[in-house]
Amino acid sequence: MSKYTEEELNQALEDTGRLLKDVPLTQEYDLDDILAEFGTGAVKPRQAEPPAQPDPEPVPPAQVPEVPVTEPDPEEEPAAAEAEKPAVQEEPAAVEPDPEKPGEDEPSPEDLAGEEAPEEPPKEDIPAPEEEPPEPEEEAPPREHLVSLEDMMDRTVSAVMEEESAQRQLEREEQERQARRARRAALCRARLAAAGGFFRALTAPKARPEPEPEEEEVIPPEPDMAQAEFEQKRLCRLHRGTTLRCLLPAVLLVGITAAETLVTMPAFWTDTPALRFGAVAALLLVQTALALPLWRDMVSELRQKHVSCAWGALLLAVSCLGDCAWCIAKGGEHLPLAGAAGLVTFCCEWGVYLRCAARRESFRLADLGGHPPWSVQKTEAGAIKRQGRLEGFYTHTMEPDMPQKWHNAALPLLLATACVLAGVVCLSEVKPAQPLWVWSALLTAAMPLSWPLAGTLPTYFLSRRLSHSGCAVAGYSGAKAVSGAKRMVITDEDLFPAGTLSLNGMKIYGEELGRVLSYSVAVARAADSQALPLLEQMLSDQGGQAETLDDFHWYEEGGAGGTIHGETVLLGSAYFMRRQNVRLPRELKVPSGLFLAVDGQLTAIFALRYQPSRNVDWALRALRRNRVTPVLAVRGSNITPEFLRRSFKVDAKPIYPDVQTRLSLLEQARRTGPAYALVYRDGLMPYAETVLGSRKLLLAARWTVALALLASAAGLLLCYYLTGIGGYASLTPLRLVLFQLLWLLPGLLLAGQVKHF
């Protein structure tokens, strides 16, 4: 096997070809001729290196024989390689080169100088030579690592490709960096825009309410108002008698409770448990039997999945009767809490009567007046007075109010808490002698007297107050819908009813009176102005007829206009004329006038006189006092917030929306809808009383419910603590009764405020 690689052989052949580039080839040589000429080139064994000798003189190029370069036959190469294999295998592993030869790769100078090739050594002594192209003697470069052209091209192409790949990678990274920078910039711009929009929304003035069309509410079939009023009258009579009958046992039980603490009772009373506890049990049992209508209503509401205060009253009465039986059988030191139980039962029955009485009063007014001229509904802009309608009034009146919903949610939790705390006290180390007394004390604390009166008493007071003004509200649901937004829409007729507007004078500029009146009536009729009756009366007196108006439209500045016979006609206030570049007299002293202009020239001035009404003045002051904001939905160009301030000497701080919103509200006022309140009298005062009374009702009911919940929580904690430590000296029956009465007082005061606006 040859010790030279293929790359070294290729390099040697290339060097030989370059040397023989200019040598003419006269004949062809085969491999045997070349070997005979230059020798076999076998590798001799390496011997000890001889001493240094001077380099032989180089052979001039002329002495170099002309040797044709012929490529070896590919078919003969395998044969020669096979012939060389045995010789290589027979030689030992360590082969040293011949020391006489200057190098291993190149022939000696003696071989190149001779004309004939030296004799071949015996094959057994010299191994077969490897094919090795001859090299000229003058070029003996040092041995280097030879690299093929394909490898060099591969490396060059690889280097170029790597450089291009690195360049592309750098370009991609730069593009990604620019994309990330662009995304960050876009995100920063979006955040700045969002922050700017947020701050602009905070600093921007509040948008004026714009009413939106509402979907018609589906109303179930309702009975006639006469039939509804008769049914509530029957229930009112039933519960009124029951309330009066329950009052007497309650008063007697409270009297016995007070006498036990404040007065020294006779010995036969204190020493006879059957008399002492039996009398209390008898009075409580009689009251429970008399309150049978209350228990029937309780069962009917339970079927509708409603929990009322009657459940608490019944549970408290049962615990007190059980305590009386315990004391009669085993004796007892403390008087049963029958007085507190009697008051709770009485208040529950009284609340049912007040609810029936309030409904009866509302239904009576609705039936007495027949078809109502106006009804009050809710819109996005606030309460609005529309055309009369009875549909929906009965349904909204019979809906459960907010206190009833709280009864259904909180009362079971309070009663369950009282029962659990009673069990904890009875099973603790301090075992009370009267466990049923502890249970009744905790139930009494969980049932304040203002709880059943939270919604019924304010509703009763409001219905009685509004019935004198010719108004009625559909219970708590109607009051919430009417005054929930704390705004009410007011029209021209509400501020200045019929009879309060009159003509105070007129002045015409260069036109005939009949033509001026016909033009004015045409525009006023299209604008539905309040001055239309006055202008029509004057036109009728002149025997004229109104012209036909085309292209009618409203102006934001406070006026209206159109086209008559190709002439532009404008009708409005002085401010509107100035905005339309119509010249007015310099010394103009008409604070509330109606101006007519034809083709930009002032034609007539109608001086109007608005007479303020005392009812409207009271209503505006009441609205300002109760923080209800009026929304002006007026058509008249003179009725502005400044004009109202001058006329009524009160700043009600009304909302004056744009002309489109005002016209939309006026359009809604002409529609009909479900009735939340009924108004049978004209003017702003009854309308304002309805809205303000509804707001008072909401406030009273909410505050009473909040105080009742606070009283229940405080009473439960206090009674649990005192019964847990055995402090019965501080927790006497009379003090529990006083605790209930004191928490009832705020509810009565809040309900009384409903009547005062």
pLDDT per position as a tens digit, 509-527: 888 888 899 999 999 999 8
Give 156-206 as a 3 state SS string: HHHHHHHHHHHHHHHHHHHHHHHHHHHHHHHHHHHHHHHHHHHHHHHHCCC
The reported pLDDT for the residue numbered 387 is 85
Whether residue 161 is contained in a domain is answered as no
Q: Which of 32-36, 58-62, 498-502 has the lowest mean pLDDT?
A: 58-62
581 φψ region: left (φ > 0), alpha (ψ -120 to 50), beta (else): left
Does some domain include residue 653?
no
- For residue 366, pLDDT over 90 is answered with no
Domain boundary among 82, 116, 144: 144
Percent of the chain with pLDDT over 70: 78
Distances (CA, A) of 422 to 315, 328, 413, 425, 458: 14, 21, 14, 5, 34
Distance, CA of 267 to CA of 564 (rounded, Å): 105
Q: Mean pLDDT, to the nearest integer, of 377-386? A: 88
Has residue 538 been placed in a domain? yes
For residue 736, report the phi and psi dihedrals to the nearest 5 degrees.
-65, -40
pLDDT in the model for residue 30: 59
End-to-end alpha carbon distance in the chain: 125
Residue 137 scores a pLDDT above 50: no
| Residues 413 and 285 occupy one common structural domain | yes
Domain co-membership, 533 together with 485: no
Residues paired with 508 in a beta bridge? 604
Residue 436's contacts (CB-CB under 8 Å, 6 or more residues apart) are 319, 322, 323, 326
Give the mean model confidence (pLDDT) for residues 70-88: 41
Coil, helix or strand at residue 342: helix
What's the pLDDT tens digit per position in 306-365? 888 999 999 999 999 999 999 998 877 888 999 999 999 999 999 999 999 999 999 998
pLDDT value of residue 17: 66
Q: What is the pLDDT of residue 60?
A: 44
Give the ranges where 428-512 is alpha helix by DSSP (H): 435-446, 456-467, 475-483, 492-495
**pLDDT(131) > 90:** no
CATH number, domain with residue 592: 3.40.1110.10
CA distance 644 to 638: 9
Lowest mean pLDDT, pick from 8-12, 144-148, 476-480: 144-148
Q: For residue 354, is it within any domain?
A: yes
Mean confidence (pLDDT) of the chain:
80
pLDDT interval class at 108 (50, 70, 90):
very low
Pairing state of beta strands 629-632 and 487-490? parallel
Looking at residues 703-730, what average pLDDT do you find?
Answer: 92
Work out the pLDDT band at 377, boundaries 50, 70, 90.
confident
Over the stretch 192-223, which tens digit does the pLDDT of each residue have? 888 777 666 766 655 544 444 455 567 778 88
pLDDT for residue 93: 39
Q: Does any domain span residue 187?
A: no
Residue 498 token pair: 């019929």
pLDDT of residue 203: 64
408 and 353 co-located in one domain: yes
- Kindly state the tokens that stand for 745: 């007082």
Mean pLDDT for 548-561 is: 88
Q: Rounded mean pLDDT of 572-595?
A: 86
Looking at the structure, tell me whether residues 110 and 245 fall in a common domain. no
**Does residue 631 fall inside a structural domain?**
no
224-238, 367-381, 411-425, 642-656: segment of lowest average pLDDT: 367-381
Contact 404, 306 (CB under 8 A): yes
User: Is the full-model pTM beyond 0.75?
Assistant: no
Q: Are residues 476 and 347 in the same domain?
A: yes
Where are the extended beta strands (E) located within 186-274? none
Per-residue model confidence (pLDDT) at position 121: 42
Three-state DSSP state, 148: coil
Tell which of 144, 162, 181 closes a domain.
144
Kindly state whether residues 508 and 605 are assigned to the same domain: yes
The count of other CB atoms within 10 Å of the CB of residue 694 is: 29
- Can you say how many angstroms the Cα of residue 513 is from the centroid of all Cα atoms in its chain? 62
* Three-class secondary structure of residue 379 per DSSP: strand
User: Within 13 Å and on the Cβ side, how many CA atoms surround 100?
Assistant: 5
| Residues 63, 113: Cα–Cα separation, whole Å | 8
Say yes or no: 286 and 357 in one domain.
Answer: yes
- Does pLDDT of 2 surpass 70? no
Residues 585, 604, single domain; the answer is yes
Is 112 among the domain residues? yes
The rounded distance, in Å, linking the Cα atoms of 571 and 520 is 7
The confidence band for 244, taking pLDDT boundaries of 50, 70 and 90, is: very high
pLDDT tier, 454 (very low <50, low <70, confident <90, very high otherwise): very high
| 484 in the same domain as 505 | no
Residues 455 and 592 both lie in one domain: no
487-490, strands of its sheet edge to edge: 471-473, 677-679, 374-379, 382-387, 487-490, 629-632
Is 199 part of a structural domain of the chain?
no
Q: Which of 112, 144, 176 is the last residue of a domain?
A: 144
522's enclosing H/E stretch is helix 513-527
pLDDT band at 27 (very low <50, low <70, confident <90, very high): low
Over residues 620-666, the pLDDT tens digits come to 999 999 999 999 999 888 888 999 998 898 888 999 998 888 888 88
Average the pLDDT over 575-601 and give the result. 86
Average pLDDT for residues 400-406, to the nearest whole number? 90
Are residue 267 and residue 388 in the same domain, yes or no? Answer: yes
148 versus 146: the higher-pLDDT residue is 148
CA dihedral 555, 559, 562, 567 (to 10 degrees): -120
Mean pLDDT within 154-165: 81
Domain count, the chain: 3
- Could you tell me if 514 and 471 lie in one domain? no
- What is the span of the domain harbouring residue 589? 501-610
* Tokens 């004057």 -> residue: 538
C-alpha distances (whole Å) from 685 to each of 106, 495, 615, 643, 693 are 133, 10, 6, 19, 12
